[in-house]
Amino acid sequence: MMRTHLCGELDPSHVGQQVAVTGWVNRRREHSQHLAFVDLRDHSGIVQCVVDNSVDVRSEYVVRITGTVTERPDGTVNDNLATGRIEITDVAVEVLSVSEPPPFPLDERADEVDEMVRLRHRYLDLRRERMQRNLRIRSQVNAAVRTAMLAQDFVEVETPMLMPPTPEGAREFIVPSRQRPGSFYALPQSPQLYKQLLMVGGLDRYFQIARCMRDEDLRADRQYEFMQLDLEMSFVTVDDVLDAVEVSVLDAAEAVTGVRPTDVPRITWHDAMNRFGTDKPDLRFAMELVELTDAFAQTGFKAFATAGSIKGINAKGAAPDWGRNKLDGLTDDAKSFGAKGMVWMKVTAGDAGALTFESPVAKFLSDDEQKALIDRLDAEVDDLLLLIADEWHTTCEVLGELRNRLGRPPVSEGPYEYLWVVDFPLFVGMDDATGNPKPGHHAFCHPHPEDLDKLESDPMAVRAWAYDLVLNGWELGSGSIRIHDPALQQRVFDLMGIEADEAEQRFGFFLNPFKYGAPPHGGFAYGLDRLTAILAGEDNIREIIAFPKPQSGVDPMTGAPTEIAETTLAELGVRVLPPPVD
């Protein structure tokens, strides 16, 4: 090796030793006419080297420095640096590579640099301590997950990246076939089809750290390409799947933080919606939804009298921060979320200390109704109460959005609050085009056995053996027990308006193997990018991916996606249409 030690591992125990270190010049400072200090950086840290002032080294030069480790003189110790008690003296400097001045500083100041500049020069951005740390945390997570799965007797299997397009799910990336012009592969949204077929093939327990692709709009928690821990198990119950997933997630958290979280609580989908207004609740703050429908059963307030569901939340102590203009804006937000309107009430002190309301609707509410609001919402002076009256699902969802808007901290802050959400609805609403029920997760989720007798008579009341894992309000992943009985699968297809012939045409390659003895099985997949981002203290998964794409989807470093030569398109049998005319 060109080095004997890493920069950051040197300490007083090395005093007197001859060492060789390599890395990038982080900073050069002139000390006197004859001497200069060079801070040398590698991925482990920084060490100060005392060099001859005539040595021409500048920021980001790559150098090899040999010399003797000595203690720093009294008064020069740097307690902010891990190597701050020592320095390297009597050095010889070998320049391995020169550098032009970088376009932005490669330290914490780069956090203030425009993200597009950072991504255009990502190879420089990766040198920073923050990115070095994040990518090593990602490696720790992957290693812990793989170890956890192998310890539970899972078999690692790689599934194809080129697969048939699927008619369900998110938008896919399509790959044209050169040998069969006019035909196309799809890049996998997930290994779902193959991993279930592995269960038919008797693998019993499969896992894969899988790269998946979805052509969807990019957000803080979403990229075109993402990595997930994908698993499938045979002869299992819901509890078996959840227990196996927990082991891997909690092992990964412990590997990064040194602390193992407690067991993950569980809540049904219906309770999650009732209490938090979302199927991915953030448990780090209170402000739960409170049921108020019965309190207004005899109300004379028209907006409440005709509503099927009335709920409220209490933003404790928030009233002074919300003036009329801001509240009008919040009302507009509630309408954009789907509500017909929103009632706000500021809690104030009245005569003799009694609580009263400052609100445009207070005059329409009876004394008993106002007392019910105070009691049920645990109202105190300066609290801000927000009420939504609508059908149940809308009331829950809108208040859930408002709850997050008013109280949710950044996803990376605070404790790690894991949560299982179970017993999702098998169907969610009706398809506008066909009038048939739409599956909540996908068409292959097993209905809850207790609800099978309702499948045809009351399909919207049927629960699925489906479950999600949530961390700090981010959905980490989803899974379900699968339908392995072809007759039950066709019952679900019938409800969706998919006849047997159509099912054979669309899903035959996947379903036909189930005629040959498919075991009961279930599985799960969770996003390693999202888990790693939270454990690394980041609010955007781009910060834990080596080469991500910005929200536009255009890679500022490589320019991808790019145009393809006409000769290549012709070979693939592909013709590019002209852009649409406005």
144 and 258 fall within a common domain: yes
CATH (domain of 312): 3.30.1360.30
Residues in the chain: 582
Euclidean distance between CA atoms 532 and 128, whole angstroms: 18
579 has a pLDDT exceeding 90: no
* Residues 570, 571, 573, 578, CA torsion sign: negative
Structure-token pair, residue 25: 């010049």
Counting beta carbons within 10 angstroms of the beta carbon of residue 222, is it exposed (0 to 12), middle (13 to 18) or buried (19 or more)? middle
Q: What average pLDDT does this structure show over 213-237?
A: 95
Q: In the chain, pLDDT over 90 holds for what percent of residues?
A: 88
Q: What average pLDDT does this structure show over 348-374?
A: 92
Residue among 331, 335, 356, 359 at smallest CA distance from 345? 359
89 and 150 fall within a common domain: no
Residue among 384, 351, 355 at smallest CA distance from 371? 355
Q: What average pLDDT does this structure show over 252-276?
A: 95
Q: For residue 459, tell me if it sits in a domain.
A: no
Q: For residue 54, tell me if it sits in a domain.
A: yes
Among candidate residues 97, 131, 157, the one where a domain is terminated: 97
260 and 126 fall within a common domain: yes
Interhelix angle 392-407/324-336, nearest 10 degrees: 130
- Determine the pLDDT at residue 414: 82
Pair 476, 530: CB distance under 8 Å: yes
- Determine the pLDDT at residue 167: 60
Look at the block and give the residue holding tokens 């990246």.
Answer: 161
245 and 350 fall within a common domain: no
Q: For residue 503, tell me if it sits in a domain.
A: no
Contacts of 412 (CB under 8 A, 6+ apart): 472, 533, 534, 536, 537, 538, 539
- Determine the pLDDT at residue 352: 74
Query: Reduced to 3 states, what is the DSSP secondary structure of residue 573?
Result: coil
As a whole number of Å, the CA-based R_g of the chain is 30
93 and 130 fall within a common domain: no
Query: Reduced to 3 states, what is the DSSP secondary structure of residue 460?
Result: helix
Query: Reduced to 3 states, what is the DSSP secondary structure of residue 512?
Result: helix
Among candidate residues 407, 435, 453, the one where a domain is terminated: 407
Structure-token pair, residue 209: 């750290």
Per-residue DSSP letter, 225: E
Q: For residue 467, tell me if it sits in a domain.
A: no
Euclidean distance between CA atoms 486 and 490, whole angstroms: 6
pLDDT digits (tens, 9 = 90+) for 61-91: 999 999 999 999 999 999 999 999 999 999 9
- Determine the pLDDT at residue 169: 65
Euclidean distance between CA atoms 241 and 260, whole angstroms: 20
Euclidean distance between CA atoms 404 and 177, whole angstroms: 46
Euclidean distance between CA atoms 64 and 55, whole angstroms: 13
Q: For residue 495, tell me if it sits in a domain.
A: no
CATH (domain of 14): 2.40.50.140
Neighbours of 57 (CB within 10 A): 20
Q: What average pLDDT does this structure show over 231-254?
A: 97
Q: For residue 474, tell me if it sits in a domain.
A: no
Q: Picking from 54-58, 447-451, 509-513, 538-542, which range would have the lowest pLDDT averaged per residue?
A: 509-513
Q: Picking from 55-64, 108-117, 432-441, which range would have the lowest pLDDT averaged per residue?
A: 432-441
Pair 427, 459: CB distance under 8 Å: yes
Neighbours of 375 (CB within 10 A): 10
432 has a pLDDT exceeding 90: no
| Run of H or E residues at 89 | strand 86-97
Residue among 157, 135, 154 at smallest CA distance from 145? 154
User: How many folded domains does the chain comprise?
Assistant: 3
Q: What is the 3-state secondary structure (H, E, C) of 521-549?
A: EEEEEEEHHHHHHHHCCCCCHHHHCCCCC
Pair 273, 396: CB distance under 8 Å: yes
Look at the block and give the residue holding tokens 């006409």.
Answer: 566
CATH (domain of 209): 3.30.930.10
581 has a pLDDT exceeding 90: no
Contacts of 294 (CB under 8 A, 6+ apart): none
- Determine the pLDDT at residue 508: 85
Q: Provide the terminal-to-terminal Cα distance of the chain, rounded to the nearest Å.
A: 61
Q: For residue 277, tell me if it sits in a domain.
A: no
Q: Is 76 left (phi over 0), alpha (psi -120 to 50) or beta?
A: alpha
Among candidate residues 350, 375, 407, the one where a domain is terminated: 407
11 and 71 fall within a common domain: yes
Strands (E), 171-327: 174-176, 184-186, 205-213, 225-234, 266-268, 290-291, 309-315
| Domain containing residue 549 | 120-264+521-582
Strands (E), 277-417: 290-291, 309-315, 343-349, 355-358, 384-390
129 and 249 fall within a common domain: yes
233 has a pLDDT exceeding 80: yes
- Determine the pLDDT at residue 442: 86
pTM of the entire predicted model? 0.92
pLDDT digits (tens, 9 = 90+) for 270-308: 999 999 999 999 999 999 999 999 999 999 999 999 999
pLDDT digits (tens, 9 = 90+) for 398-425: 999 999 999 999 998 889 999 999 999 9
Q: What average pLDDT does this structure show over 439-447?
A: 91
- Determine the pLDDT at residue 32: 85
Pair 52, 13: CB distance under 8 Å: no
235 and 351 fall within a common domain: no
pLDDT digits (tens, 9 = 90+) for 456-494: 999 999 999 999 999 999 999 999 999 999 999 999 999
Counting beta carbons within 10 angstroms of the beta carbon of residue 131, is it exposed (0 to 12), middle (13 to 18) or buried (19 or more)? buried
Q: For residue 246, tell me if it sits in a domain.
A: yes
Euclidean distance between CA atoms 23 and 62, whole angstroms: 6
Structure-token pair, residue 142: 């992957």
Counting beta carbons within 10 angstroms of the beta carbon of residue 490, is it exposed (0 to 12), middle (13 to 18) or buried (19 or more)? middle
Pair 366, 299: CB distance under 8 Å: yes
Euclidean distance between CA atoms 233 and 250, whole angstroms: 19
